[in-house]
A and B are shown apart, each in its own frame.
Chain A
Amino acid sequence: KAGVTQTPRYLIKTRGQQVTLSCSPISGHRSVSWYQQTPGQGLQFLFEYFSETQRNKGNFPGRFSGRQFSNSRSEMNVSTLELGDSALYLCASSLGDGGNTEAFFGQGTRLTVV
């Protein structure tokens, strides 16, 4: 079956702009989590969506937001981009029902803010 698909793979944006990243989970998975990965901070949890509702949230400013659609696809949005937002953004999908906890990651979207 198809894995987790993230689009686009690479993005270059200018400070102050906004960006939307997309994640299509594995078929049947209802939970989508987003992570930011940087060399300095490592992998940091942004938020998690389950059945179109944000179920968990990390410690990122309100400029970072997300949503999930009825088909479980998820988008995350970053507004008013800052240079420090340059990172690899990863999404992970899982069943999310607490029984099977294995999460599968996509390849990520590499965002560069200039």
Chain B
Amino acid sequence: GESVGLHLPTLSVQEGDNSIINCAYSNSASDYFIWYKQESGKGPQFIIDIRSNMDKRQGQRVTVLLNKTVKHLSLQIAATQPGDSAVYFCAETNNFNKFYFGSGTKLNVKP
């Protein structure tokens, strides 16, 4: 895929299992965080976001957890499906039109 790097961390899960993808962010002043999914040959696709005044937000099959104390963000995907296979990026900002992206995690779902 377009976003895969030689040294991307990879998470392999069995179809139907839950997945947890982690991200450490760097700027304690960041107040908005997003998770993106990038499939091969496509641009990043918005999954879910969270503001710094929250510690948890749920979407459809996805949950984002934010721990500001340790500057850690996680994305939980319930009942992972083959279509979830992609590279996942977290992004942070304190300026809503300038995002800083993490290096990405490749999720590999085994049927």
> Chain B's nearest CB lies how many Å from the CB of A74?
13
Residues of chain B having any CB pair with chain A under 8 Å: 2-6, 32, 34, 36, 41-46, 49, 89, 91, 95-104
Residues in A whose Cβ lies below 8 Å from that of B102: 42
Quick one: closest A residue to B5, CB to CB?
A: A39
The segment from A65-73, A78-86, A102-110 that touches chain B is A102-110
**Interface residue count on the A side (C-beta < 8 Å):** 32
Q: Are B96 and A101 in contact (CB under 8 A)?
A: yes
Taking A42-B102, A48-B98, A106-B43 as given, write out 18 further A-B residue pairs in contact, using a Cβ cutoff of 8 Å, ordered by the A residue number. A35-B101, A37-B3, A42-B89, A42-B101, A42-B103, A43-B44, A43-B89, A43-B91, A44-B101, A45-B98, A45-B99, A48-B97, A50-B97, A56-B98, A94-B97, A96-B97, A103-B99, A110-B2
Complex: A114 Cα to B3 Cα, angstroms: 20
Contact of B104 among A42, A98, A102, A104 (CB under 8 A): A42
Q: How many A-B contacts at CB < 8 Å in the complex?
A: 66
Complex: A92 Cα to B102 Cα, angstroms: 17
Q: Are B98 and A58 in contact (CB under 8 A)?
A: yes
- B-contacting residues, A31-47, CB 8 Å: 31, 33, 35, 37-40, 42-45
Complex: A55 Cα to B97 Cα, angstroms: 8
> Chain B's nearest CB lies how many Å from the CB of A40?
7
Complex: A105 Cα to B42 Cα, angstroms: 9
Residues in B whose Cβ lies below 8 Å from that of A39: 4-6
> Chain B's nearest CB lies how many Å from the CB of A10?
11
**Which 7 A-B residue pairings sit nearest by Cβ, starting from the closest?**
A105-B43, A39-B5, A43-B101, A56-B98, A101-B96, A48-B97, A42-B103
Can you spell out 7 A-B residue pairs with CB atoms less than 8 angstroms apart? A33-B97, A45-B98, A50-B97, A58-B98, A90-B43, A98-B96, A103-B46
Residues in A whose Cβ lies below 8 Å from that of B103: 42
Residues in A whose Cβ lies below 8 Å from that of B41: 107
